[in-house]
Amino acid sequence: MLACIKRVMSDFANRYEAFRRRDPALDGVVFVAVRTTGVYCRPVCRARTPLARNVCFYPSAAAAERAGYRPCLRCRPETAPFCPAWKGTRTTVERALSLIEAGALDQGGVEALAGRLGIGTRHLSRLFAAHLDASPAQVAQSLRVQRAKRLLDDTDLPVTDIARSAGFSSSRRMSAAFVNLYGRPPSAFRGHSSSRKGNPWLRPTAP
């Protein structure tokens, strides 16, 4: 993750300019949140560029969601290519991310994950706060929602099967996570991203 973050521009002005150009080098490295809409996007989103004063950047989708932003329904941040940190290289944070992506926190807790990494739970939480601005549990929840949304978009599987495949303990917990993040249930996302029209910066509203 550190190698990815080092590629991000060192100050807000340069980062915003790269976002304005839709620089693909930032895709999966930072996420762009817009204060006036409550939505966060991939930096390559084709929506109209918001004013700089309304923009803030986050190092992970989980961090943007933790701050109260909802994913854009046009650019689908859950489909952003992860930087190499998520592919399992050797640092502690990278190893933890690889294990979480593989479902380590779907079946066990943060304490067990930290044990697999050979460190304490508090130290693991500090590392995640420093590098991702989110906790291991928040990253895991973000990944579950992302998996579920892809399955809702791309398959006709029943919601109960999607919940299990995405790592939720029940469809009820998945529904609660979607309502908390998007303001609507999982069923509202059947083919939703391909059919949505209008301004993608607008905050999703409940049906």
**Residue 45 among the catalytic residues:** yes
**Residue 75 among the catalytic residues:** yes
> What was the pLDDT predicted at 82?
62
Cβ atoms 65, 143 nearer than 8 A: no
**Residue 83 among the catalytic residues:** no
**Residue 4 among the catalytic residues:** no
> What was the pLDDT predicted at 158?
93
* Residue-wise DSSP of 78-114: GGSPPPGGGGT-SSHHHHHHHHHHTTHHHHS-HHHHH
| Interval 142-188: pLDDT, tens | 999 989 998 998 898 999 999 999 999 999 999 999 999 999 999 89
pTM exceeding 0.75: no
Tokens 């928040």 belong to residue? 138
> What was the pLDDT predicted at 131?
84
Buried b (16+ CB within 10 A) or exposed e, 118-138: eeeeeebeebbeebbbbbbbb
Ramachandran class of 178: left when φ > 0, alpha when ψ lies in -120 to 50, beta otherwise: alpha
Catalytic residue from among 4, 56, 75, 83: 75
Catalytic residue from among 4, 45, 56, 83: 45
- Write out the two tokens for 200: 């993608």
Q: Residue 74's Cα: distance from chain center in Å?
A: 14
Domains recognised in the chain with CATH numbers: 2-79 (3.40.10.10)
Catalytic residue from among 4, 56, 72, 83: 72
| Interval 116-144: pLDDT, tens | 998 999 999 988 988 888 999 999 999 99
